[in-house]
């Protein structure tokens, strides 16, 4: 059985992320969306909130599980019984970093394959960073994220 892990910070989860999760759920028997704590990135939303938003949005996909994690992805893989790391590539500029990461993961976990998916073209320019920036400046991000994410961003920014 092929079980894929799609790791990321998901701060916040975007329509591009959801597009990749949906397509991965059609390709693999099981998909684990692993929401990384990522304290070095200083996420806007706390881990619990990011996990819960992603879990609710992915609920209709019966073979998708959402978890939070800290530490090395390569240590999480055997705990989850996963043999594939799924990563998204929006643009050529993403490739160099993702390629380096895939090579490092291959050294740390040689039994695991890295696979890349590109989002649908209508989502290819969306990034969590841009969504956060637009939202923090009072802009409308409703075309880039699920309505629950819009609500959470508005709630968070109002505090």
Q: Is 17 a catalytic residue?
A: yes
- Measured between alpha carbons, how far is residue 157 from residues 46, 132, 146 in Å? 13, 10, 17
Q: Is 122 a catalytic residue?
A: no
List 87, 128, 132, 146, catalytic entry = 128
- Measured between alpha carbons, how far is residue 52 from residues 12, 41, 67, 85 in Å? 11, 19, 9, 22
Q: Is 103 a catalytic residue?
A: no
Residue 107: which residues within 8 A CB-CB, separation 6 or more? none
List 17, 50, 87, 146, catalytic entry = 17
List 3, 23, 55, 90, catalytic entry = 90
Nearest to 114 by CA among 38, 23, 22, 4: 4
Q: How far apart are CA 126 and CA 122, in angstroms?
A: 9
Q: How far apart are CA 58 and CA 19, in angstroms?
A: 10
Q: SS3 for 35?
A: strand
> Residues 32, 37, 42, 43: is their CA dihedral positive or negative?
positive
Q: Is 41 a catalytic residue?
A: yes
Return the active site residues: 17, 41, 90, 128
């Amino acid at each position: 059985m092929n079980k894929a892990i799609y790791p990321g910070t998901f701060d916040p989860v975007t329509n591009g992320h959801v597009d990749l999760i949906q397509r991965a759920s059609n390709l693999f028997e099981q998909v684990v969306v692993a929401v990384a704590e990522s304290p070095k990135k200083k996420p806007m939303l706390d881990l619990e909130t990011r996990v819960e938003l992603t879990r609710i949005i992915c609920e209709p996909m019966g073979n998708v599980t959402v978890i939070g994690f800290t530490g090395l992805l390569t240590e999480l893989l055997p705990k989850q019984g996963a043999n594939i790391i799924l990563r998204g590539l929006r643009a050529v500029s993403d490739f160099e970093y993702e390629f380096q990461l895939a090579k490092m993961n291959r050294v740390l976990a040689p039994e695991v394959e890295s696979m890349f998916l590109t989002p649908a073209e209508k989502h290819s320019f969306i990034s969590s960073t841009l969504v956060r920036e637009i939202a923090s400046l009072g802009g409308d991000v409703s075309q880039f994220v699920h309505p629950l994410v819009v609500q959470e961003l508005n709630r968070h920014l109002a505090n």
